[in-house]
Amino acid sequence: MKPGINNYSEIGKLNKVLLHRIGNEIEGLVPDNFERLLFDDIPYLKVAQQEHDKFADLLRANDVEVIYYVDETVKALKDRKVRQEFIRKFVSESDIHSEAVKEALEEYLMGMTVKEMVEKVISGVKKSELDVKSNSLADYISSGYPYYTDPMPNLYFTRDQGACVGNGVSIHHMSTMARRREALLLQYMFKYSKSFAPDGTNLWYDYDQAYSIEGGDVLVLSDEIVAIGLSQRTTVAGIEQFAKNILDESTFQKILVFDIPKCRAFMHLDTVFTMVDFDKFTIHPEIEGPLQLFEITLGKDGNARFNSIQDELENILKIELGLPAVDLIRCGGNDAQAAQREQWNDGSNTLAIAPGTVVTYERNYVTNDLLDKKGVKVLTIPSSELSRGRGGPRCMSCPVNRDDL
């Protein structure tokens, strides 16, 4: 295993992964805020945690080191000054319009142990926790709202806030307000935790950059090609900046931009397309094509070059990966009802932990069976509650280190 961050494929043997154990932040979900907080239902926390623990246990049983957002952020925020800076930034980005409230929040969070503070930042600070004497119009108008700082129920989709690509990290500007502050935790991990990001780790994109990118759109197709979805969440300007940084300073040669429909069903590229083996992919039937792609490479003069490609997914993958044939495994097979049902529960959102070995949700039995018939080793996890957040095993994991192929 190479040290530090090392991620040159979607399928190399997984050695280290960053997860977030779903926590109290989920209890902030109510039907009124579903749309804003990007949920369709409320997971039952106790069972969701049991399911998440099974996911982590399965990874450990397969020789994967599991690290968690809370622990890693705690390590990064040991120093009091760094902690103060982090809290200030967190509070300033939590949509608070009263100075008195900001000050009270900073004092409240600084008074906690580092672990309590990080957990609180994730689960949200309720108004009932603080006694603020404020006489502002902002507080008056929002007096019926229970939180000073919103919870982060989507943090367990650790794929999205950032991505480890090659020997670097991409820290994302998330598309929605509901998820923006999640990546702040990753930014501090990157800056202040050497055990997470040793000296020399590259930075491909940063939290403070202006345009959105989300990690569900980033797929490391090979050690030369990174695929990115131009999607509802990932912008063309974000892709361009990411491409410039990574092509300039890494061994990657090409960014392959998949122009996918800008709608929630296609939320990220990994909702409709993931790699499970050298030549096998799980897909949502609607991604078969013809597709519009754009290629970004660097010319000899160091300037970006663009190229447009229109083709079927199958041909694109064969050409780009230099393979004689590829197998596209449709979520739900040819049964239209199973396809819709299993797509809704992220049947094509598989996490490869080695070439041809994947983790999937147990409930997607039609797709799992198909994978099995194609010779893929399928390891399943229970998912009655986890699936309610509309993300699967790939979204719930951020690979930090994989063996090279």
Ligand X SMILES: NC(=[NH2+])NCCC[C@H](N)C(=O)O
Question: For residues 181 and 390, which CB has a smaller minimum distance to ligand X in the complex?
Answer: 390
10 Å Cβ neighbour count for 358?
26
Binding mask 119-148 for ligand X (x = CB under 6 A): ------------------------------
Integer Cα distance of 396 and 151 in angstroms: 18
Residues 6 or more apart whose Cβ sits within 8 Å of residue 109: 87, 90, 91, 117, 120, 121, 125
Q: Considering the complex, what minimum distance in angstroms separates the CB of residue 233 from ligand X?
A: 7
| Residue 390 sits in the site that holds ligand X (CB under 6 A) | yes
Size of the site for ligand X (CB under 6 A): 16
DSSP 125: E
391 binds ligand X (CB under 6 A): yes
Sheet with 273-277: strands ordered across: 273-277, 280-283, 327-330
The site map against ligand X for 26-45 (x = CB under 6 A) is: ------------xx------
CA 216 to chain centroid? 5
Residue 69: exposed, middle, or buried by beta-carbon count in 10 A (0-12, 13-18, 19+)? Answer: buried
Nearer to ligand X, 139 or 160 (CB): 160
Neighbours of 398 (CB within 10 A): 25
164 catalytic per annotation: no
389 is a site residue for ligand X (CB under 6 A): yes
Stretch that binds ligand X, among 93-101, 242-250, 315-323, 389-397 (CB under 6 A): 389-397
Cis peptide before 290 (omega within 30 of 0): yes
Which residues are 357's β-sheet partners? 354, 377
Kindly identify the residues of this chain, within the stretch 225-284, that bind ligand X according to CB under 6 A: 267-268, 270-271
Query: Among residues 395, 397, 399, 402, which is the contact residue for ligand X, using CB under 6 A?
Result: 395
Per CB under 6 A, which of residues 149..178 are in contact with ligand X?
154, 157, 159-160
Shortest Å, Cβ 68 to ligand X: 18
Chain residues binding ligand X by CB under 6 A are 38-39, 154, 157, 159-160, 179, 216, 267-268, 270-271, 389-391, 395
